Amino acid sequence: MSMLIAFYICLTLFLSIFAGTDGYFEQVVRQCRFTSKDLHGIEFIDSYVFNQAEYIRFNSTVGKFVGYTEHGVKNAEAFNSDASLLAQEQGELERYCKTNAAIDYSAILDKTAEPHVRLSSVTPPSGRHPAMLMCSAYDFYPKPIRVTWLRDGQEVKSDVTSTEELANGDWYYQIHSNLEYTPKSGEKISCMVEHISLTEPMMYHWDPSLPESERNKIAIGASGLVLGAILALAGLIYYKKKSSGVL
């Protein structure tokens, strides 16, 4: 490491520790920029920033330092005249960026988590449709996901509202999509979820029949009504017979 780079690192640490929020702040920002797994077009960028204003930068694609202020231009000229410093900066693309990119892909970017999907009926807002369905996908990673509605196999684009991908705060995301509609006899409504963690799009079909728990509640309630009616009838018969002196 050259004395010049060491000086800037020490200056950054010193000002970071002793400068208040309203003081002066010097920082060096080092970036590896790549957009594909084959690392085509990968760049190493070394930026020098003072009070949020970048004044000098090294870009591996350009191959030299470029100044953005009068002070930055003077420093760029000095840095570019130092062959060992330029060689060191140019070597960071192979030494740091490409080495760590493979680690980042395997440890972070290649990791996926399948969404947990729930399809439910919700109360619609006041509008022209009496029913609304919600398709919710939870705990998926990475962020990009596509949720669409199908009605008898055809994609529905109207009367659909969706949230953005919402961060849970634990690296996972959730999303909610609503479909307002007017029910028709015999139709089939589905929610289709597409995500990188899935080998193929997943279909979730809406069953308008009541779930088992709701059916059990209705059955228990109906049984109670029948039993109550039988007991009431038996009491009435007993009362009539007692009143007539039969008993």
CATH number of the domain to which 17 belongs? 3.10.320.10
* 8 and 105 co-located in one domain: yes
| pLDDT recorded at residue 133 | 96
Sign of CA dihedral 178, 182, 185, 186: negative
Single out the residue in 77, 109, 141 at which a domain terminates: 109
| pLDDT recorded at residue 38 | 78
**Residue 156 maps to a domain:** yes
CATH number of the domain to which 154 belongs? 2.60.40.10
Domain, as residue range, for 158 = 116-205
Q: Are 171 and 141 in contact (CB under 8 A)?
A: yes
- Answer yes or no: pTM beyond 0.85: no
Higher pLDDT, 200 or 37: 200
Give pLDDT tens digits for 92-116.
999 999 888 888 877 777 788 999 9
**Residue 170 maps to a domain:** yes
**Residue 246 maps to a domain:** no
| pLDDT recorded at residue 47 | 95
**Residue 226 maps to a domain:** no
* 96 and 145 co-located in one domain: no
* 120 and 198 co-located in one domain: yes
Distance CA 200, CA 179 (A): 23
Higher pLDDT, 9 or 64: 64
**Residue 219 maps to a domain:** no
* 41 and 132 co-located in one domain: no
Phi, psi (degrees; rounded to nearest 5) at 203: -110, 135
| Nearest of 36, 33, 28 to residue 9 by alpha carbon | 28
* 63 and 135 co-located in one domain: no
| pLDDT recorded at residue 215 | 41
**Residue 86 maps to a domain:** yes
pLDDT at residue 12 tops 60: no
Single out the residue in 45, 80, 109 at which a domain terminates: 109
Distance CA 206, CA 156 (A): 14
* 140 and 100 co-located in one domain: no
Give pLDDT tens digits for 170-201.
889 999 999 999 998 889 999 999 999 999 99
